Amino acid sequence: MFELMIGISVISFLIALFATPIVLFLLRLLEVVTRRINIKDALIILLVPFSIGYFYLVPSNGPVKKIYHALAILFMVLTLLGAFFIFYMSK
């Protein structure tokens, strides 16, 4: 049972570490392309860290924003699960 917990922590940490930037960037890129946003706002949406530009400039309607928000929460939970492994290994 303990090994299962450690395994879940390691897998969630790896998913959060490698999948988060790729998936969220692709969703931001999809939003920029489908809404035909001008180049200045598109660069802000794509390149400002922590999705600040995305949440600031993209209107709140649309299915992509709901999916983006749900995936951001999912990746945050996975990161917290992975953090338990880091804290366990440091003790």
pTM above 0.75, yes or no: yes
| pLDDT tens profile 7-20 | 888 888 888 889 99
Q: What is the mean pLDDT of the chain?
A: 88
Domain interval for residue 74: 2-90
Per-residue three-class SS string for 3-70: HHHHHHHHHHHHHHHHHHHHHHHHHHHHHHHHHCCCHHHHHHHHHCHHHHHHHHHCCCCCHHHHHHHH
What's the structural domain count of the chain?
A: 1
Residues 23-48: pLDDT tens digits? Answer: 999 999 999 999 889 999 999 999 99
Q: Is the pLDDT of residue 88 over 90?
A: no
For position 29, what pLDDT does the model report? 94
